[in-house]
């Protein structure tokens, strides 16, 4: 038996949760709009689902068990036979050696206690009240359905919140996704994974089950479950089955017209075993970056938009040069990958631990090498430049389109040209392109004229009459995309005496490119063309990422 609307009114009035005038307004609204009595109070902000649950529990003179935020494990729930659980709408909430606690939305059901005693004959029985929708959600534990259209496991409306969340995350990790999106529509939620930089739909959930999922994520991320109109940010540490190290994830929840959207960034350990070759650097590039990183002072900047692999490149370099003889300290927002032997500091705006303030503190820690997650403003840039002048090697990232544009932008934020000229050691710009799947890669012949039609600017790099290029047909290994994994395309600008002299004169991007090309500079497009010719990526993928 579920409590009817009239009974709920009585309970709420008796407990002074609402007043008589509130009830009159609600009744008037319901009669005019054919709505729901309780929904009116919740939408008006006068009640929450938890308050309704607590009031109902008071009426039955039992404890209120919040199954929304305190979700029992599936194995525990399934200890009660399905037939009994559905008949009496019972969920096993807790079990000890001497007692069991069960949740139900009908504590006065005839025969309930007698039947529970038969299942747990030697234990004390405690009964609590839970909301009907939460009971319904956990009864779904007795059903298991799979939709393998995308991969191993895809959630649908018949799956329950804890199971959905854990398996969606596990699935995303299996595909090495960097992000998970829960996008609310009017009647359903679309789940998307960002794999190799591209969002792909992974499944859909009926909207009626989304609130439980949303609240589960909020609880795991230590966010307020009663906040629905302001953005919230949190973190989750996810433990994979049969794995030792947990996975850290950032959670962002923002309100949209169709409900709250969840975006989860997976800060996984995918880069732990990467080498500079793995990230896509040629042998010449590797030698160049290692040579620069052995200097006793100077600044190495990695340039590119968000999601272009800048942090991965810097971490791979740090792993390469990390030895017990040097002190490496970082300040980041967030700390994306944890590396043994390196002192890593998490920036925190709430405690005023900014990049600039953290960098000042690091300089008092006797560092040899400093990594600043990002240079965002004049203050951080000024401290970074002065750190290199006092004998430190500093790595950082910076938002710019290419190496030529980075120098004028750096000067524009207030750094004196002579200081930048004397401290800048190496500038690297990069993008990430998807790699052709090895399992379904095929070759094809393309004429020079066809390439020129696709992009005229490429004619300078494809001078023969025809070329053998490659693409992926699509297979189960790559989820039928033709691509699996990503690699970088790079351009390196090394400081020479001539380039230092030019920087002092506040050059334009064009001036920098002209001098750099005289000194053997290769653009990202040229590096990408080499990767197209050797079958690492496709021509279309390169042009998608790198504009000529």
Q: What residue segments make up the domains of the chain, in order of their start? A: 5-138, 143-267, 271-434+486-524
- pLDDT in tens for each of the 548 residues of the chain? 455 667 777 777 877 778 888 888 888 877 776 666 777 777 676 777 778 888 888 888 899 998 877 778 878 888 999 889 999 999 999 999 999 999 999 898 888 999 999 999 989 999 999 988 788 878 877 754 334 334 433 444 444 558 778 888 888 887 888 899 999 999 889 999 998 888 888 888 888 878 888 988 999 899 998 899 999 999 888 887 767 778 889 999 999 999 999 999 998 665 566 789 989 999 999 999 999 999 999 999 999 988 899 988 999 999 899 998 999 999 988 787 778 889 999 888 778 888 888 899 999 999 999 999 999 889 999 999 999 998 999 999 988 889 999 999 999 999 999 999 999 999 999 999 999 998 889 999 999 889 988 888 898 899 899 999 999 988 767 877 899 889 999 999 999 999 999 999 999 999 999 999 999 999 999 999 999 999 999 999 999 999 87
Pairing relation of β-strands 369-372 and 328-332?
Answer: parallel
Dist. CA 533–CA 548, nearest whole Å? 17
- pLDDT for 346 equals 87
Dist. CA 40–CA 249, nearest whole Å? 36
Domain 143-267, classified CATH 3.40.50.150, yes or no: no
The continuous run of DSSP H or E covering 303 comes out as strand 298-303
Residues pairing with 110 in the sheet = none
Sign of CA dihedral 28, 34, 39, 44: negative
The CATH architecture of the domain made up of 5-138 is: 2-Layer Sandwich (3.30)
DSSP code at position 348: B
- pLDDT for 16 equals 74
- pLDDT for 143 equals 59
Longest dimension (CA), the chain: 91
- pLDDT for 272 equals 60
Quote the tokens at residue 387. Answer: 């750190």
Dist. CA 262–CA 530, nearest whole Å? 39
Question: Model pTM greater than 0.95?
Answer: no
Quote the tokens at residue 293. Answer: 């990183």
Topology of the domain covering 271-434+486-524: Rossmann fold (3.40.50)
Dist. CA 344–CA 371, nearest whole Å? 9
The continuous run of DSSP H or E covering 233 comes out as strand 232-238
Q: Answer whether the bond into residue 334 is a cis peptide, omega within 30°.
A: yes
Residues pairing with 272 in the sheet = none
- 344 in Cβ contact with 338 (< 8 Å): yes
């Amino acid at each position: 038996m579920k409590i009817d609307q009239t009974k709920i009114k009585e309970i709420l009035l008796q407990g002074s949760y609402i007043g008589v005038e509130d009830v009159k307004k609600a009744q008037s609204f319901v009669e005019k709009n054919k709505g729901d009595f309780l929904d009116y109070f919740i939408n008006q902000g006068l009640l929450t689902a938890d308050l309704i649950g607590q009031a109902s529990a008071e009426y039955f003179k039992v404890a209120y068990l919040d199954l929304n935020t305190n979700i029992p494990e599936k194995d525990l729930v399934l200890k009660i036979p399905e037939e009994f659980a559905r008949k009496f709408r019972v969920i096993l909430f807790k079990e000890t050696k001497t007692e069991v606690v069960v949740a139900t939305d009908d504590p006065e059901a005839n025969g309930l206690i007698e039947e529970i005693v038969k299942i747990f004959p030697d234990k004390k029985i405690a009964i609590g009240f839970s909301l009907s929708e939460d009971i319904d959600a956990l009864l779904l534990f007795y059903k298991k359905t799979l939709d393998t259209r995308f991969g191993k496991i895809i959630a649908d409306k018949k799956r329950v919140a804890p199971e959905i969340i854990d398996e969606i995350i596990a699935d995303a990790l299996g595909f090495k996704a960097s992000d998970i999106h829960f996008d609310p529509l009017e009647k359903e939620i679309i789940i998307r994974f960002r794999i190799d930089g591209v969002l792909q739909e992974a499944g859909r959930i009926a909207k009626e089950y989304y609130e439980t999922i949303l609240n589960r994520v909020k609880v795991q991320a230590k966010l307020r479950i009663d906040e629905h109109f302001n953005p919230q940010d949190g973190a989750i540490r996810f433990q994979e089955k049969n794995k030792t190290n947990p996975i850290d994830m950032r959670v962002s929840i923002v309100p949209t017209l169709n409900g709250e959207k969840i975006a989860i960034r997976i800060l996984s350990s995918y880069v732990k075993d990467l080498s500079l070759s793995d990230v896509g650097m040629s042998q010449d590039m590797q030698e160049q970056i290692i040579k620069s990183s052995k200097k006793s002072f100077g600044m190495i900047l990695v340039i590119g938009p968000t999601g272009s692999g800048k942090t991965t490149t810097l971490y791979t370099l740090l792993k390469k040069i990390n030895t017990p003889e040097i002190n490496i300290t970082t300040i980041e927002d967030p700390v994306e990958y944890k590396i043994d032997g390196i002192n890593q500091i998490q920036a925190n705006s709430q405690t005023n631990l900014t990049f600039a303030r953290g960098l000042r503190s690091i300089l008092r820690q006797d560092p040899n090498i400093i990594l600043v997650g990002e240079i965002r403003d004049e203050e951080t840039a000024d401290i970074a430049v002065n750190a290199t002048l006092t004998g430190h090697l500093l790595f950082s990232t910076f938002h710019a389109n290419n190496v030529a544009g980075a120098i004028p932008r750096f000067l524009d934020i207030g750094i004196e040209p002579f200081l930048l000229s004397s401290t800048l050691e190496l500038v690297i710009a990069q993008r990430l392109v998807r790699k052709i799947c090895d399992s379904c890669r095929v070759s094809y012949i393309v004429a020079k004229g066809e390439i020129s039609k696709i992009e005229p600017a490429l004619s300078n790099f494809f001078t023969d009459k025809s070329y053998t290029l490659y693409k992926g047909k699509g297979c189960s290994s790559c989820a039928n995309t033709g691509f699996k994994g990503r690699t970088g395309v790079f351009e390196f600008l090394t400081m020479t005496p001539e380039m230092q002299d030019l920087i002092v004169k506040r050059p334009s991007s064009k001036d920098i490119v002209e001098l750099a090309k005289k000194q053997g500079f290769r653009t990202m497009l040229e590096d990408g063309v080499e990767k197209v010719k050797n079958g690492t990526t496709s021509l279309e993928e390169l042009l998608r990422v790198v504009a000529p």
